[in-house]
Amino acid sequence: MEDALDRIEEGTYGVSEKSGEPIPEERLKAEPTARLLVEEQAEVEEARRA
């Protein structure tokens, strides 16, 4: 949660750390600490399983 607060202060909250695209409001409501788009998070998780 602290990281999300830091990103708010930096002005980067709600922006994907991977693509720089805006993270949809619905995702942020469901997961306020999200750092990636849903698709990007799925890719990361898939790579971890491989």
Which pTM value belongs to this model? 0.85
- pLDDT tens for residues 6-50? 999 999 999 999 999 999 999 999 999 999 999 999 999 999 999
Domains of the chain: total: 1
Distant-in-sequence contacts of 32-35, Cβ < 8 A, 24+ apart: 32/1, 32/4, 33/1, 33/3, 33/4, 35/3
Domain CATH for 13: 1.20.120.910
Provide the domain limits for residue 8.
2-49
Coil, helix or strand at residue 21: coil
Q: What is the pLDDT of residue 4?
A: 86
